[in-house]
Chains A and B, each alone.
Chain A
Amino acid sequence: MNDRDTTADENVIEIEGLSRRFGAKCALDNVSLEVPRGIVFGLVGANGAGKTTLIRHVLGLLKAQAGAVRVFDRNPVKDPVGVLSRIGYLSEEGDLPGWMRVDELIRYMRAFYPTWDEDYAQELRRQFALDPAAKVKTLSKGQKARAGLLVALAYRPELLVLDEPSSGLDPIVRRDILGAIVRTIADEGRTVLFSSHLLDEVEQISDRVAMLKGGQIVFTGELDDIKQTHHRLAVRFEEERTVPPAIDNVLQWKGQGREWGAVACGRLEAVTMAVLAMGGEVVEHKVLSLDEIFIARVGATAGTREEATP
């Protein structure tokens, strides 16, 4: 079977039970993930959550200590050429060789990818305002990111992997990067996996999100579903309380006396009924941003509740 003759609903990346330790530190703990073809998949998490480690497994730069990683139904460690020829990768570090000129970088990269589109590469170079005669080491961080993005996009890869693409970059470069991603997904059937801790950016462009904390996936799903199942509630109790009640699916409580605020997940009706049963009433309901969901999920371990603030 031709590898490129794949159906639209197949998974480009399949990770099952992946674990990784670096000495005593557990970087990934039994992570399972599926990235379907043709979507933008955002990996979010605090620094050290395991996002880059996960991406390095996808690229075959790390070997799974436990579990399995398959990309395009291939093992990226056993078949790096088969996998990497279909992936465009922009690293967080911007690890392009400093001694190369931009035009040399383009010429060098072109040799590796039969699908390289030289016209598109030159169009991107002009769009990103990159001087072809400039050495990579003389470029600013933003320009390096643009150069890295250029060579990751110009062969129109089936999977674009971006590791913290906009970390430390100014808004103009971030706009360029986001714009490029949007254009990429506009090309039918291509997939983007990107990690970021800039949640507004993830919220703008992701179809699906996985949230990592301490090497574990806290939750994963469609962005719209996640937002619909997380709520900020204002709750008024009949009697004054010094501690919040224990209600399933409430991730966070804040407040005192009769007035309390809660962040909850799950079906709104179920949470409302549970609040009623505890002698309270939901007086206001708001949709949470991904940022707020992240803080509720990652800031406090699921199942624990913040104590009442005085």
Chain B
Amino acid sequence: MMISTQMTPTQAILWQIGWRSRWVLLGAGAYLLMAIALSHLLTPYVQAHYGERGTLGLGMYLGVPCVLVIVIVLTAFSLARVNAGETTPPSHMLVLPIRTVQLVAVPMVVGSFVVVAIWLAIAWLILQPTGVVAPVWWPAAALVLFLTAFQAISWTPFAQAWMSLVATLAVTAGGFALFLAAMLAGMVDFSFSRDSGWLASAFLAFVPVAYRAALSGMAMKRRGDAYDWKQWDLWMARLAAWRKPSERPFASASAAQVWFECRSIGWYLPVFVGSMTLFMPVILIASWNDSDQTWKLAQIVIGLPLLMATVAGGILGSVNGLETKPPQGPFLFTRPLSSVALVRDKLWMGLLSTAATWVVMLPLAVLILFRPGFVQTVREWGASVPLWKVLILPPVAAMLLFTLSWKQLVESYWVPLTGRDWLVGVFTGGFVFLIMGGVGAGLGLAFHPEQAAMVSAAAVWLMVIAVGMKAILAVWVLRGLDRARLVSRGFMWGMGGLWIVIVAGLMLAALNYLPRSEVSLAQVVLGVVLLIPFSRLMGTPLAVEWNRHR
């Protein structure tokens, strides 16, 4: 882009912010405009046909993705890293011939105006037309505080990188504590329907603190200084000296590679899931006698690892792990390790990571087990089914759950393993589109239950098309593997046979257990065929090859 006129430093900083994140900002802006337009265009129609329940659903459907819009804006105005190897803010900005005050104040002030404007647009132009009553001022103030605090943390150099995470958690907990205090004082409620000038003022009162912290942090960064907790380093040094490395060599290259994968990225899923469940024991114990909560929490305990495994596959699959500076890919690709072996060891890592995740969930499962009413319900179930089912079903269900979460994790490995950012973007966008489409279709069906039969028939045809595409893709992958001579034909036949056995077994089980009145034979057969991945797993070595030999 040509800049024909001389910009002022303020304009240059803002141009830098906008240009670095231009694509995501454009996308976010486009979504906001679309949501505003849909909110105004669809509300009268939905109101006329489905009443208030319909418009509220529409408001939530359009409003929830706005969280992502706000996150994008917060990230852009924090000058967060866009490319591998960059710092936050980019190092070239630190040496600009401008005062630190200007470097801090411009993104902070303009960013605050932008997030407030976005929130007002969401509250007034998207939510309110649909009838969703949303508070206006305290969330706007909270967003300003969160933006400025996030900027301060991002721009403050910490010698121990984890300290920025602790600071972020502390700020979030502090904000939440303010909200809780306001709720206890009766200013706001959990339904997010009441506004409070007091709470807004309380949030804004902390903004100058965030500004001072950001100024101090940026000044330190500019002079190459950092907050350094030397005692921590001393403890770490002692720990490192005490922790003798294993003298024993790895049994094989594969063992070494599995260790590498686990240490590099395999820990991510159990730690992530574990951190998400930190407060759940408190909720479980606080609502100990509320038996209604038991099954909801049980659903969360079961569903969370599955959901997170689905999301984390895109991270655990990458050869770079969380290391982008430098990326690990070239290091791995210059080891005498075949692409098939690399995939095999990544699959093993996925298995261990999944197992560790379920181990992390065990204490919660045990807590749920002892909640009032749970054992009684299990006893009642046990008394109503034959003994063999009591003995067989729990371990089979546990095994299926474990296998399903592993499958969810590893089936998307191939996307990041291609090493193509554009492909990762396309599939992430496609995933979000599918989720939104699914939610939209579900809402549509809830408003139009009379269309259920038609949607069900259409779904079967869509599944037939998807199965056809799956078959074409499988042939293409097998031909690619054969041409590249990555695996033997015997292996391919074996995998094909295994896939057929698994699919047939699941079909039989599904036909036996699922109520036939709600799902047709075609839906079961097609659903199982689509559920069990073949090309996605078999094609993973091809993705590695594409990345490795560019």
User: Does any Cβ of A come within 8 Å of B323's Cβ?
Assistant: yes
CB distance from B340 to the nearest CB of A (A): 10
Q: Is the CB of A111 within 8 A of B255?
A: yes
Q: Which residues of B contact A99 (CB under 8 A)?
A: 263-264, 323
Across-interface contacts of B241 in A (CB, < 8 A):
133
Interface residue stretch chosen among A80-88, A205-213, A292-300: A80-88
Closest-by-CB residue of A relative to B254 is: A111
How many angstroms from the CA of A132 to the CA of B237 in the assembled complex? Answer: 12
Main secondary structure of the interface of A (DSSP, over half): loop
Given known contacts A60-B548, A99-B263, A108-B256, is B335 in contact with A84 (CB within 8 Å)?
Answer: yes
Is B260 a contact of A108 with CB atoms below 8 Å?
yes
Contact indicator A96/B549 (Cβ below 8 Å): no
Q: Which residues of B contact A60 (CB under 8 A)?
A: 548-549
- Name the distance in Å between B244's Cβ and chain A's nearest Cβ: 9
- State whether A61 and B259 are in contact (beta carbons under 8 Å apart), knowing that A84-B336, A103-B245 are contacts in the complex: no
Q: Are B331 and A96 in contact (CB under 8 A)?
A: yes
Q: Assess whether B277 is interfacial by the CB under 8 Å rule.
A: no
The answer to whether A80 and B328 touch (CB under 8 A), given A60-B548, A111-B250, is no
Are B330 and A61 in touch, CB under 8 angstroms?
A: yes
For window 243-294 of chain B, which residues contact chain A by CB distance below 8 Å?
Answer: 245-246, 249-250, 252-253, 255-257, 259-260, 263-264
Cβ A107 vs Cβ B334 within 8 A: no
**C-alpha spacing A63/B326, complex, angstroms:** 22
A contact residues, range: 20 to 34
Asked if A194 is at the interface (CB within 8 A of a chain B CB), the reply is no
B residues less than 8 Å from A168 (CB atoms): none
Given the contacts A111-B256, A132-B245, A93 and B250 also touching, CB distance less than 8 Å = no
Among A84, A93, A98, A133, the most chain B Cβ lie within 10 Å of the Cβ of: A133
Is the beta-carbon distance between B259 and A113 smaller than 8 angstroms?
Answer: no
In the complex, what residues of A have CB within 8 A of residue B335's CB? 84, 112
**Contact status A110-B336, CB under 8 Å:** no
Given contacts A89-B334, A108-B259, contact A77 B250 (CB under 8 A): no
Q: Which of A61, A87, A94, A112 contacts B333 (CB 8 A)?
A: A61
Task: Pick from B263, B264, B325, B338: contact of A81, CB below 8 A.
Answer: B338
Q: How far is the CA of A133 from the CA of B238 in the complex (A)?
A: 10
**Chain B CB within 8 A of A104 CB:** yes
Check A97/B246 contact, CB under 8 A, given A80-B336, A108-B256, A113-B336: no
CB-nearest residue of chain A to B246: A107
Closest to B328 in A: A97
A61 near B548 (CB under 8 angstroms)?
A: yes
Q: Is B337 an interface position by the 8 A CB rule?
A: yes
Residues of B within 8 A of A167 (CB): none
Asked if A62 and B550 make an inter-chain contact with CB atoms under 8 angstroms apart, the answer reads: yes
A59 an interface residue at 8 Å Cβ cutoff?
Answer: yes
Q: Is the CB of A101 closer than 8 A to any CB of chain B?
A: yes
Q: Is B327's CB within 8 Å of the partner chain A? A: yes
| Complex alpha-carbon distance, A254 and B494, angstroms | 73
Other-chain residue from B245, B338, B485 in contact with A80 (beta carbon distance below 8 A): B338
Nearest-neighbour CB distance to chain B for A21, whole angstroms, equals: 12
Distance (whole angstroms) from the CB of A210 to the closest CB of chain B: 22
Nearest-neighbour CB distance to chain B for A15, whole angstroms, equals 16
Residues on the A chain within 8 Å of B385, using CB: none
The answer to whether B245 and A101 touch across the interface, beta carbons within 8 angstroms, is yes
**Nearest Cβ on chain B to A116's Cβ, whole angstroms:** 9
Is A256 interfacial (CB 8 A cutoff)? Answer: no
A32 within 8 A of B: no
- Is A91 positioned at the interface, with any CB of B under 8 Å from its CB? yes
CB 8 Å contact bits of B526-550 with A (1 = contact, 0 = none): 0000000000000000000000111
Chain B residue at smallest Cβ distance from A77: B549
User: A107–B249 contact, CB under 8 A?
Assistant: yes
Which of A91, A103, A112 contacts B256 (CB under 8 A)? Answer: A112
* Chain B min CB distance to A114 (Å): 10
- Cα distance A60–B335 when bound, in Å? 11
Asked whether any CB of chain B lies closer than 8 Å to the CB of A95, the reply is: yes
Of the candidates B237, B252, B264, B549, which one forms a contact with A111 in the assembled complex, judged by CB atoms under 8 Å apart?
B252
| A63 with B264, Cβ < 8 A, contacts A84-B334, A101-B245 known | no
B326 touches A85 (CB 8 A): no
> Contact at B328–A107, with CB atoms within 8 Å?
no
> B337 — which chain A residues lie within 8 A by C-beta?
81, 84, 112
Q: Is B245's CB under 8 angstroms from A107's CB?
A: yes
As a 0/1 sequence over residues 201 to 228 of chain A, the CB contacts with chain B under 8 angstroms (1 = contact) are 0000000000000000000000000000
Bound together, the chains give a CA A132 to CA B240 distance in angstroms of 10
Q: Mark B429-443, 1 if CB is under 8 A from A, else 0.
A: 000000000000000
Please indicate the chain A residues that have their CB under 8 angstroms from the CB of B249 in the complex: 107, 110-111
Determine how close the nearest CB of chain A comes to the CB of B419; give it in whole angstroms.
11
Min CB distance, B260 to chain A, in Å? Answer: 6
A60-B548, A133-B240, A133-B241 in contact; A93/B330 too (CB < 8 A)? Answer: yes
- Give the nearest-CB partner of B341 in chain A: A81
Chain B residues within an 8 Å CB radius of A107: 245-246, 249-250, 256
CB pair B323–A80 under 8 Å, yes or no, is no
User: What are 7 A-B interface contacts by the 8 Å CB criterion?
Assistant: A63-B549, A84-B334, A107-B246, A108-B260, A111-B252, A112-B253, A112-B337
Q: Other CB < 8 Å A-B pairs besides A85-B336, A112-B337, 7 of them?
A: A61-B548, A61-B550, A95-B328, A98-B325, A104-B245, A111-B255, A113-B336
Q: Which 8 residue pairs are nearest across A and B when measured between Cβ atoms?
A: A111-B256, A85-B336, A111-B250, A84-B336, A133-B240, A103-B245, A95-B326, A63-B549
